[in-house]
Amino acid sequence: MRRLLLLLVIALGAGPEVGLGADASVDNGTAPLAASAAPIRVDVHPPAGADGPEPWTGWIQTALGAVRTVSPDYPVERLTVRLRGVETGGAAVVFGRVRRSAIPALEFYVDPQAELAALNADWRSYHEAAHLLIPFPGNRDIWFTEGLASYYQYLLQARAGMISEHESWTELARGFQRGFDDPQGAERDLRSLSPRMRQLRAYRRVYWTGAAFFLNVDVRLRTETGGRHSLDSALAAFHRCCMDRRSRWDARSLIQQLGELSVPSIWRQEYQALMKGPAEPEIDRAFAALGIGFDGRSVALDPNPRATALRQSISAPGSAGLARRVVDSDDRQ
């Protein structure tokens, strides 16, 4: 099976609307797309039996375009994508993982006959690409990287235009509920549970408790600074200053650095609150600010203009620009 090598130049926030173009060369060539931040060279290994570059290149381009709405300086210059064809029972994708080697790699187990729409509708490509927004914090702090990727996965789908705003908040809320309901690791604190996540099979509890941390930080940054700061902007600043440092990172050092690039007290307070109690998603305060009601299965979105603006600054297509919208926070609760 020949290897598909292409150069993707992802326009910030363009998502799936940026195509490879009629004149794009796929085999050992380049795709002349719209000008943007530094290009990402993507080495795609399609599943056995694939006839050509599509839908695989379009799918990967959509995911990378979406993750660049977080930061135009997505900290990867070269990326390998390995696709394994398997029996999926009708699903487009059944498994994904990231490998943090010298050249980072994303690996997915896919239906070799999957169509582009079905691939784009699956959350896994967005989740795995989001892992590379930060350095690996170590297995003891696996909650930090899995929480970040889980927080972003549905929001990136919405930013890419693959699901609606309502769907993104519904899926995010259901994820938090899965974490809360996970019987594995109940009553344990996150500090002791995270290093034993795989042993105890407490994946949902660890992932979604971590995701709630990032939700709370993101909402507070946006509301308490009038939109001047956000999780997106903190990560973008981190990519400009610190991603290439050769130091080893853990959750505490990443939180300290991200705090210095935004609002240290918010990161510190949310981390301290996270570590005090049992590992479970605490989302009530953030959902109240966002105007999200959740009954365990479906969400209701408050049409209040302030709550709507806040939600859209996080999840709407083009929300990298909306992130700088000033959110009036005079009557915060």
The domains of the chain are located at 4-131, 139-322
Q: What is the pLDDT of residue 20?
A: 24
- Give residue 25's pLDDT band: very low, low, confident or very high (50, 70, 90): very low
Determine contact, residues 182/148, Cβ cutoff 8 Å: no
Give one word for 194, left, alpha or beta, with left for phi > 0 and alpha for psi -120 to 50: alpha
Question: What are the tens digits of pLDDT across the range 260-305?
Answer: 999 999 999 999 999 999 999 999 999 999 999 999 999 999 999 9
Range 69-80 average pLDDT: 89
Compute the distance between CA of residue 217 and CA of residue 232 in angstroms, rounded to an integer.
11
Beta bridge partners of residue 99, listed in sequence order: 105
Least confident range of 1-15, 25-39, 87-101, 188-202: 25-39
The number of CA neighbours under 13 Å toward the Cβ of 300 is: 5
Q: What percent of the chain has pLDDT over 70?
A: 83
What integer pLDDT is reported at residue 52 of this predicted model?
77
**Contact indicator for 266, 221 with CB cutoff of 8 Å:** yes
Query: Is the confidence at residue 195, as pLDDT, over 90?
Result: yes
Rounded-to-integer distance, Cα 17 and Cα 34, Å: 11
Percent with pLDDT over 90 in the chain: 73
pLDDT in tens, 126-166: 999 999 999 999 999 999 999 999 999 999 999 999 999 99
For residue 121, the model assigns a pLDDT of: 96
Domain 139-322 has CATH 2.60.40: no
Q: What is the pTM of this model?
A: 0.87
Q: What's the chain's average pLDDT?
A: 85
Residue 242 reports pLDDT greater than 70: yes
pLDDT of 326 reads 29
Q: What is the pLDDT confidence band of residue 3, given thresholds at 50, 70 and 90?
A: low
**What are 133's two structure tokens?**
């927004």
Give the confidence band of 324 by pLDDT, cuts at 50, 70, 90.
Answer: very low
| pLDDT class of 319 with cuts at 50, 70, 90 | low
CA angle 18, 94, 164 (to 5 degrees): 45
The residue among 52 and 37 whose pLDDT is bigger is 52
Average pLDDT, integer, range 185-198: 95
Residue 290 contacts by C-beta under 8 Å, 6 or more apart in sequence? 169, 219, 307, 310, 311, 314
Q: pLDDT at residue 331 above 50?
A: no
At 327, is the pLDDT very low, low, confident or very high (cuts 50, 70, 90)? very low
Higher-pLDDT residue of 315 and 14 is: 315
